[in-house]
Amino acid sequence: MTNNLNTHAAKSPLGDLGVEAPFRGFGGGRRGKYSDIGFVNMFYNAPQILFEFAKSNRANPTEAEDFLWKQLCDNKLKQFHFRRQHPIKYFIADFYCHKTKLIIEVDGGYHTIPEQYEYDRTRDSELEELGITILHFTNEQVFYETDRVLETINNELHKYPQPPQGGFYP
């Protein structure tokens, strides 16, 4: 279920490298950082190469991504922790909250190109099959409708009841 002010998403660098999906394993050398179950749940078997692309993306964010990241940190959406440029399956999400399985994508103008738009729809569909919700915002919305963007994110974060602190529902 995609709730969006505008619909778009980022193109996977894997297509340019000829890497085929689905991937197996635990993303290479990152296995030791997380338990097997947590790793699979958080990264959905993302390949090691995506972690390298994500690291590069974090070091070189777009202006809109950097601006929204600062808003998310400054706004302190209380108990919700976001990760920047987070690998999931064979995609990289701009921002991901694992607790609520929410992706936030900040989309530049090239997402209106028909081929990219179709790729984005397919990507969203695959992620939604994992139970992940995707919110899309244009660069302009991030810069000029910041309060509305943050309100939409906040509403989505509080849409579903959260498990008790440190545990699961009985």
Encode pLDDT of 21-66 as tens digits.
333 333 344 433 444 444 446 888 888 898 999 999 999 999 999 9
* Statement: residue 137 has pLDDT above 60: yes
What are the start-end ranges of the H helices in 24-138? 36-43, 48-59, 63-75, 114-129
| Cβ within 8 Å of residue 150, ≥6 positions away | 71, 75
Residues pairing with 102 in the sheet: 97, 133
| CB count in 10 Å sphere of residue 131 | 8
154 has a pLDDT exceeding 70: yes
**Burial of 137 by CB count in 10 Å (0-12 exposed, 13-18 middle, 19+ buried)?**
buried
pLDDT score of 165 more than 50: yes
Scanning the structure block, which residue is given the tokens 């706004």? 75
pLDDT(147) > 90: yes
Check if the beta carbon of residue 153 is closer than 8 Å to that of residue 136: no
For residue range 79-96, list pLDDT tens digits in order: 788 999 999 998 999 999
Cα torsion 73, 146, 101, 115 to 10°: value is -130
Residue 148, both tokens: 């509305």
C-alpha distances (whole Å) from 60 to each of 25, 63, 64, 66 are: 28, 9, 12, 9
Domains of the chain, CATH where assigned:
14-157 (3.40.960.10)
Residue 67, token pair as written in the block: 């601006």
Between 112 and 34, residue with greater pLDDT: 112
Output the pLDDT for position 116.
Answer: 85
